[in-house]
Copies of this chain bind each other. A is one copy, B any other.
Amino acid sequence: MKTRPLSLVSAFALAICVVPAWAADPLPSWNDTATKKAIITFVESVTTKGSPDFVPPAERIATFDNDGTLWSEKPVYFQLIFAIDRVKALAPQHPEWKDQEPFASLLKGDLEAALAGGEKAVAEIVMATHAGMTTEEFEKMGKEWIATARHPQTKRLYTEMVYQPMLEFLAYLRANGFKTFIVSGGGIEFMRPWTEAVYGIPPEQVVGSSIKTRFEMRDDGPVLVRLPEMNFVDDKEGKPIGIHSHIGRRPIAAFGNSDGDLQMLKWTAAGSGPRFCLLVHHTDAQRE
């Protein structure tokens, strides 16, 4: 059989279809480094039909840590600032907090003293501020805070403290058929109300830490009540467990910035076929 040469019209149609994908740099904020090249080479190798490394779209799962990877975590985790703001808002209803740690120190603005109690102190702050309301009430609180609270140094909204190169990277992966997930030690219900608008990641693609909830039928309908009891810690060994539980497939690419992400990266790298794992180290405080 002779192959039929493309007509001029078909060739032109092909050209106008193909050109836009390559015409512009998909990662304009990235410096031209070996890392950038490696990313683009990886994406091309798994998306090119006929390539030995081709991965079907359904299996193009990429997972991202949030704190320090997609948005800043300085001076402290932003969710901790949310919790502190909630402690201040709730203080009038808790006069006993004036003499009770870690709340007493928090209310005096002494974060270091408040956190001196270690994990126990953090758990007390989390449960006092994140439990005891319905999931809808908590979502409303989170939404109001994220829409109005300002970073202590930059005075920007926290949703403006995200990394532009990572936004480009998320969009680039999605344009190439990847499904992008957040896998964060942060609270799943703290993140979900804003990740779609800020990162383009919908709630069902957010994996995070959680407290238990209880289903209750009330006079005005069913609710889920947030209980002061941990359900799942999505950090370190928890990240592969959270990925397995929520996604049910092993990612082919994973991105983190800390020790808490190592197990996720190892779990990702251990799969068969091409894998891409990256520890992000944000150093460009100026452009941030």
Using known A-B contacts A204-B249, A224-B244, A245-B210, determine if residue A263 contacts B215 with beta carbons closer than 8 Å: yes
* A130 located at the interface, meaning its Cβ lies under 8 Å from any Cβ of chain B in the complex: no
Using known A-B contacts A247-B203, A249-B203, determine if residue A240 contacts B224 with beta carbons closer than 8 Å: yes
Q: Name the one of B205, B244, B263 contacting A213, with C-beta atoms under 8 angstroms.
A: B244
> Count the A residues whose beta carbon is within 8 Å of the partner chain — how many?
36
A26 CB → nearest B CB, Å: 24
Tell me whether A246 and B246 are in contact (CB under 8 A): yes
A65 CB → nearest B CB, Å: 16
A146 CB → nearest B CB, Å: 15
* A52 located at the interface, meaning its Cβ lies under 8 Å from any Cβ of chain B in the complex: no
Q: Using an 8 Å CB-CB cutoff, how does the interface string of A232-264 with B read, 1 for contact, 0 for none?
A: 000001101100111111000000000000010
Chain A interface residues toward B at CB < 8 A: 58, 61, 135, 179, 188-189, 192, 196, 202-206, 210, 213-215, 217, 221-222, 224, 231, 237-238, 240-241, 244-249, 263, 266-267, 270
Q: Can you pick out 11 interface pairs between chain A and chain B where the beta carbons lie within 8 Å of each other?
A: A58-B202, A135-B244, A179-B204, A188-B248, A192-B248, A203-B247, A204-B246, A210-B245, A213-B244, A222-B266, A224-B240
